[in-house]
Structure 1
Amino acid sequence: MSGSEDTIEDVAELRQALAEAMDEVKSVRQAMAEAEARQEELQRTHEEVISRVKRESNHDVMVAALRSEAIRMGAHNPDDVVRLIDMEGVTRNEDGTVMGVTEVLERSRNDRGYLFGDVLRPGYSSGTTVGHPAPRPGEVEAFNARSATDSDYEARKWQFLAGA
């Protein structure tokens, strides 16, 4: 009978070890579930922050495009023009280009003409403002070997010899 008592004790020990292992598995599963929940929360928060940053950067780029086009169209105060217009027609494509700026500003110019002045053309004067014409390219100056430095003289000499 001593053999069967040892078997019963072994079975009891095995049952106790199995119960402890089951408790450990439960605690590990619970820890994994908590970790997955934290990961999902972090991912959701991360996606929200990324979408907010994209939205804000798109808005800033669109405002800059509107401001520069308002300056080109002769706005008295481009910042006021940007604040007062309806930006509904302005969008930014996936490649980063801003679409609809000219149309929105033309509509604003028709609705609120007092925000814009005449477009200043180069070479003309308007009141006290003078639009200077675009600069023309200069002419090539003749090379003076007497006043050139030694390094300039050597460089020109080799250019001349290479071209001959």
Structure 2
Amino acid sequence: MRYRFYLLSVFVFILDHLTKWLINSLMDLTRYIDVIPGYARISYVRNSGVAFGLFADFQSQWKPYVLAGMAVVAVIVILIYSARMPSDRTLLQAALAVTLGGILGNFTDRVVHGYVVDFIELHIQDTFHWPTFNIADSAITIGIAMLLLDTIRNPESHRQQKEMA
């Protein structure tokens, strides 16, 4: 059953990098494509921060190392937690796998390029703009939401996990 965990993580990772490669290959930083005019567009952004552009303006020589270190710690925690988790907890395993694939996708970008490629831009006309994001950011967000759902559905199981740790 664990192989499904790794396959899902690899699928998210490949999908993330395939879409980033397409954006990198087909677009430049000044161009955008309206998908749903006034609401959604594809644009090419180089994000030196974390998900949704957080900390992008924070300048420090240590920022790349801190962000990479946080990703490494998160990957280790997810792998350990997944290994200890019963394989019949499919929602939890899927949540961890999707999150892992997203973390690895952005981590690889950050190590290779020094930034993460973001390209999905949601907005409501000119009144509201959600920060530009990518497949990895979406996977991390969806994985965390699934984790919260699993915690709500199985609170006793999570208490037992804490006691075992």
* TM-score category, normalised to shorter length: under 0.3
**Which structure has more RCO (C-alpha within 8 Å, separation ≥ 6)?**
2
Q: TM-score, normalised by structure 2?
A: 0.25
Between structures 1 and 2, the one with greater strand share: 2
Between structures 1 and 2, the one with greater helix share? 1
Structure with the greater alpha carbon radius of gyration: 1
